[in-house]
Structure 1
Amino acid sequence: MLRIGLFLLTNIAVLVLAGIVMNLLGLNGILASNGVDLDVGGLLAFCAVFGFIGSFVSLFLSKFMAKRAMGVHMIEQPQTADERWLLDTVKELADKAGIGMPEVGIFPAPESNAFATGWNRNESLVAVSEGLLHRFSREEVRAVLGHEIGHVANGDMITLSLIQGVVNTFVMFFARLVGFFVDRVILKNEEGLGIGYYITSIVMDIVFGFIAMFIVAWFSRRREFRADEAGANLAGTNAMIGALARLKAESEAGAEVHMPSSMRAFGISGNSMAMMLSSHPPLADRILALQNRAA
């Protein structure tokens, strides 16, 4: 969840910034032809360029942002037995998955959590929380690491960026259509693009960007099942089921282990809105999928 959450927040920020820059530099002139007509084809192509730029900037910044946001302590020269085991295990699983050795880190958090990110399957980052490392058995930690390495091996961040690029294109496109409508039809401005257009388009970038998160979250939930399968292949089906079951038990007793819903590693509980925005499907569904696969 951390990996997707950081990516989405970065992407929305880049998207809004791109919209503001477009307005300030007067690049929205492509909207109008002879001051009155809307150049829909040109606008769509223009938004596609900026939409994909925003998505891939988010992708390239993902590892940097994750390190800073989570306060990740990078393991370069292991100082403890746990750090040595973590490095060796990630190396073993990465070799088995056929990817380059990821950077490895630990971040200070009491909840059981982990994430993997990076723009390239051979230039990735895998990090676990102190809570996960200290409370889970090594077999369970190994399964969680297998799941995260599965994301890297499956190229999930690249695929997510492509989908986000498409989504960004239409977010910017429809935001500017609404801005144009407000400016020309409601405010009756017929001379270029007025203040109504600029304000409305920026506001709609945020509104449509939030709505687009539902689409990206839906896709992300589908990818989690594949990452679970990868974790089962790399670390063993029983170990993967055991790790998910442990996470489920901790999430159900969240207050006891200080696990806020917004930071749970592999799932989120709450109302239907939270479920639709969740980047991970319910843990019970994931456990059942692995059990059916094993059977």
Structure 2
Amino acid sequence: MFTRIALFLGTNIAVLFVLNITMRLLGIESILDEQGVGLDLNALLIFAGVIGFSGSLISLAISKWTAKRMTGAKVIERPRNEAEAWLLDTVAGQARRAGIGMPEVAIYDAPDVNAFATGMNRNNALVAVSTGLLGSMTRDEAEAVLAHEVSHVANGDMVTMALIQGVVNTFVIFLSRVIGHVVDRVVFKTERGHGPAFWITSIIAELVLAVLASIIVMWFSRRREFRADAGGARLAGREKMIAALERLQANVRQPHLPDQMAAFGISGGIGTGLKRLFMTHPPLEERIAALKARSS
């Protein structure tokens, strides 16, 4: 569940960084300095929008490829055993009931209990599960996890996340340049062009604003998880979905993901205080309580 967010955000940041550097090397940011006097805010907003949405949309477009490369997920072309046949049949049935095209189904070798869905098209997505999940969960619990991921696809969550990230990127880039420009002109009295203060300040402002903006993205991500849990309950059954989350809760203190991806495990980990603001998933106890509060 968390893996798809990790892959998307990581790729988005990388693409955004490359595009930023490229634009600076090509001198395109010079359009923001109007005759050495001030910022052309309209041009700046267009520039920020192009860079901001390019990062998120490119990340979305290559999300399936990235996921396969980073996790080593192998798509099941022809089932080699009963477990793979069950996976294909289960996802096919859920996709049909959810009204989406059959996703690619993959397995990747990892001891952690994890699963993810990704793809820019709800009719051409990828659903993958770890070997750890298959070995640790019952069929009913695994069915619920698959239903949760299929619900993400049906809800168009990756596209929505890409659009939200694009808007956030745009305003981060826009505001950081405005702050850099003001500091350069007012504090350091640069009269023409942009001095070193502009570049230093805009970079620092972009980093700070990106951290603050991620709180918005993470809040929205947590809301989408409740919706996917509800969708999983409809497709697989409420009790199965609750049982799957309870199984994850029992394993939450034994993560096996690499350090750089530990925060993106299927269970969402544990977050308190400020750390909670940066969680992409709500705490498991809240998700379980929300499902139990729903009528049968």
Interval of TM-score (by shorter of Structure 1 and Structure 2) = over 0.9
User: What is the CA distance between 1:227 and its match in structure 2?
Assistant: 0.3
CA contact (8 A) 1:19 1:205 kept: no
Report the residue type matching 1:118 in the other structure. G
User: What is the CA distance between 1:258 and its match in structure 2?
Assistant: 4.4
Q: Deviations over 1:237-266 (max 9, x none)?
A: 110011011111111xx23x7478524203
Q: How many corresponding residue pairs?
A: 292
Correspondence list, 1:137-152, <5 A: 137-152=138-153
For normalisation by structure 1, the TM-score amounts to 0.93
Q: Deviations over 1:216-239 (max 9, x none)?
A: 110000001110111001000110
Give me the whole-angstrom Cα distance separating, in 1, the residues matched to 2:195 and 2:81: 62
Specify the alignment match of 1:89 in structure 2: 90
Note if 1:112 corresponds to 2:113: yes
SS at match of 1:294: coil
Which ranges of structure 1 fall in alignment gaps of 5 or more residues?
none
CA contact (8 A) 1:237 1:294 kept: no
User: What is the CA distance between 1:140 and its match in structure 2?
Assistant: 0.6
Correspondence list, 1:219-230, <5 A: 219-230=220-231
CA RMSD of aligned residues (A): 1.7
For normalisation by structure 2, the TM-score amounts to 0.93
User: What is the CA distance between 1:267 and its match in structure 2?
Assistant: 2.0
Which ranges of structure 2 fall in alignment gaps of 5 or more residues?
none
User: What is the CA distance between 1:200 and its match in structure 2?
Assistant: 3.3
User: What is the CA distance between 1:176 and its match in structure 2?
Assistant: 1.0
SS at match of 2:270: coil
Give me the whole-angstrom Cα distance separating, in 2, the residues matched to 1:215 and 1:85: 38
CA contact (8 A) 2:5 2:264 kept: no
Specify the alignment match of 2:67 in structure 1: 66
Q: Which shows bigger deviation, 20-29 or 161-170?
A: 20-29
Percent identity among equivalent residues? 53
Specify the alignment match of 1:129 in structure 2: 130
Change (3 A) 1:263 1:52: closer
Note if 1:76 corresponds to 2:77: yes
Give me the whole-angstrom Cα distance separating, in 2, the residues matched to 1:18 and 1:184: 26
Give me the whole-angstrom Cα distance separating, in 2, the residues matched to 1:102 and 1:120: 10
Report the residue type matching 2:169 in the other structure. N
Report the residue type matching 1:233 in the other structure. R
Specify the alignment match of 1:204 in structure 2: 205
Specify the alignment match of 1:266 in structure 2: 267
User: What is the CA distance between 1:212 and its match in structure 2?
Assistant: 1.8
